[in-house]
């Protein structure tokens, strides 16, 4: 198990994981501000809500 953790560190898996979490959080915050400021109409709300999910799926399964 120790070798596995060391390999993850060597490949910067932890840094990339943190970057994905921060980026997802930032996208959610921007979408929330845009929705509160009425920068988008009600029809586009479902598209904004699904952006973090789509990005997660794209980067998790397609790379």
Could you tell me if residue 17 is inside a domain?
Answer: no
Could you tell me if residue 27 is inside a domain?
Answer: yes
CB atoms < 10 A from the CB of 26, how many? 11
Could you tell me if residue 11 is inside a domain?
Answer: no
Under 8 Å between Cβ of 55 and 27: yes
Under 8 Å between Cβ of 40 and 48: yes
pLDDT tens column, 24-37: 898 888 877 877 76
pLDDT tens column, 28-61: 888 778 777 666 555 555 565 666 777 776 777 6
Predicted pLDDT of residue 4: 92
CA distance 14 to 34: 30
Range of the domain at 33: 23-63
CA distance 47 to 54: 10
**Apex CA 18: angle with CA 46 and CA 52, to 5°?**
5
């Amino acid at each position: 198990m120790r070798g596995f953790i060391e390999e993850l560190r060597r490949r910067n898996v932890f840094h990339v994981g943190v970057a994905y979490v921060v980026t997802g959080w930032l996208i959610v915050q921007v979408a929330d501000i845009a929705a509160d400021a009425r920068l988008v109409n009600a029809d586009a709300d479902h598209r904004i809500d699904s952006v973090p999910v789509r990005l997660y799926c794209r980067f998790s399964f397609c790379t």
